Amino acid sequence: MSGQPPKKVPPPSPERDRALARKPRYAYRNAEGIDQLVKGFLRSEDVRRMKRFARVRGALDSVLSERERPKVQAISIQAGVLTLEVTDSVLLGELRNHRAHQLLAALVEAGTTVTRLNWRIARAS
């Protein structure tokens, strides 16, 4: 830098704003085609995460009964560890002690990246 303080830029005048407002607009500024937006979304990490959680939910539904399904929620998948939140403490004990191997086998068969389960009890709302 030259050591001089930066020049102060005067604020935009109201005349400039009015002149810009009078200009006809034929299209949005920085318009992007819908096909590019959809392609960008389909390639995003969010879609991969949704697909991964869909596979996890399918694997859990194949093991859990109709009554147990709403009580078990997949919270996160990080480094192969799936965090499951269970609303019922009795169900948590049963799943953790007796059916964890069955759940892991279903998750591996579904093609998820899960190798370990982390359990937690849901907070009362």
Domain boundaries, the chain: 46-121
Tell me the percentage of the chain whose pLDDT exceeds 70.
94
Q: Kindly tell me the sign of the dihedral angle through the C-alpha atoms of 67, 54, 111, 73.
A: negative
Please enumerate in sequence order all residues whose Cβ is within 8 A of that of 119, keeping only pairs 6 or more positions apart, or say none: 83, 84, 86, 92, 95, 96
Helices (H), the chain: 14-22, 34-42, 45-63, 89-98, 100-109
Residue type, 124: A
Domain 46-121 belongs in CATH node 3.30.300.180: yes
**pTM for the structure as a whole:** 0.62
Check pLDDT > 60 for residue 6: yes
pLDDT digits (tens, 9 = 90+) for 63-107: 999 999 999 999 998 888 999 999 989 999 999 999 999 999 999
